[in-house]
Amino acid sequence: MIRVLVIIFVSLLPFSLNASDEHMAKSKGIDQESILSLYPVPSQVDVPQNAVIKVQFKIPLDPSSVQKHNVKLVDLSSHHHEHIRGNIAYDKDQYLLTYTPSKLLQPGFYEVEIKSLKAAKTHKQRHIHEIKYHFYVPEVVNGYALPPEPDKKLNDSTLLGIDFNNNGIRDDVERLVIIEESKNSEYPKTQIAISMQYAWAWQKIIDSPTLEARKYLENASSCQWYWFAKKTKDIEGYVESRKWRKEHIGKLGVELEDKIFNTKERTLQRFKFNEACSGQIFSLPKDTIENCQINIDELGE
């Protein structure tokens, strides 16, 4: 049987600049000639909690200038901008300075500052300037690194909102998908992948509510139906197969769309899309793994 998709008007569902990005971009002394590499990389957004600060220089340092008070690591997300204590070390053979925090870094924004370093006497003409930059340690849920919770007013002040990790999905929507679908006891990774593809598709439609944009939603539907077909192939009877699909549709549905279309401007884009597609009849693409953004067959569920 060929499934067709009819898109018509639907009733209203209840439902820039990213300040974090701007803050993350602030830095000092990161591109000076004396530096070979920095870790974490300035503005890095996927730093693990057990990260060790590393600065490798092109020239040797004066070991006497490598003091604990010359490195400052600050948790900018804490109430009082906590200074993270740690141990400093210098490898004179690799010209490598390391700062190992005394505890795991909690999710949030961090600032690292390194100053008062001096080159060895053999390179005394080289001046090492202060180094300062930011990075982000994400909250990890079910193996997924979450973007930070965006400021609601700022997030809703523009059509596309805030996408901190630049994956095409608004951060508040991504957090909802990962946190809620991770509660699924049977297929959390698959449900996350499918819901994330739907969220990505709707974001594309919000950006450009045209007839051509329907392909993104069709591909997401195709991926979901591929998974349904795979999981119900051994279930006898249409009623039982339909019951399984209903039970495994995912925790999110209307709730996800409510989150996506949470402002008047975003809802109007949905109306424009419905208007562009209204009355049209489309043959949906074949239910195939090729229409999945993530190969759900490889998720082990």
Total number of domains in the chain: 2
98 and 203, same domain (yes or no)? no
Q: What is the per-residue pLDDT for 237?
A: 79
Q: What is the per-residue pLDDT for 251?
A: 65
155 and 259, same domain (yes or no)? yes
Q: What is the per-residue pLDDT for 133?
A: 96
125 and 162, same domain (yes or no)? no
Quote the pTM value.
0.76
192 and 290, same domain (yes or no)? yes
111 and 182, same domain (yes or no)? no
Q: What is the per-residue pLDDT for 10?
A: 33
Q: What is the per-residue pLDDT for 1?
A: 34
182 and 274, same domain (yes or no)? yes
178 and 291, same domain (yes or no)? yes
- What is the extent of the structural domain holding 196? 4-17+150-298
Last residue of a domain, which of 122, 141, 160?
Answer: 141
Dump pLDDT digits (tens) for 251-262: 677 889 999 999
294 and 157, same domain (yes or no)? yes
**Three-class secondary structure assignment of the chain:** CCCEEECCCCCCCCCCCCHHHHHHCCCECCCCCCEEEEECCCCCCCCCCCCCEEEEECCCECHHHCCHHHEEEEECCCCCCCECCEEEEEECCCCEEEEEECCCCCCEEEEEEECCCCECHHHCCCCCCCEEEEEEECEEECCEEECCCCCHHHHCCCCCCCCCCCCCCCHHHHHHHHHHHCCCCCCHHHHHHHHHHHHHHHHHHHHCCCHHHHHHHHHHHHHHHHHHHHHHCCCCCHHHHHHHHHHCCCCCCHHHHHHHCCCHHHHHHHHHHHHHHCCCEEECCCCCHHHCCCCHHHCCC
Q: What is the per-residue pLDDT for 252?
A: 72
103 and 64, same domain (yes or no)? yes
Last residue of a domain, which of 110, 141, 172?
Answer: 141
pLDDT of 176 > 70? The answer is: yes
Average pLDDT in the chain: 88
157 and 293, same domain (yes or no)? yes
Q: What is the per-residue pLDDT for 16?
A: 31
Taking residues 219-238, report their average pLDDT: 88
Last residue of a domain, which of 141, 172, 195?
Answer: 141
112 and 259, same domain (yes or no)? no
Dump pLDDT digits (tens) for 55-112: 999 999 999 999 989 999 999 988 889 999 999 999 999 999 999 999 999 999 999 9
Give the CATH number for residue 35.
2.60.40.1220
166 and 276, same domain (yes or no)? yes
pLDDT of 25 > 60? The answer is: yes
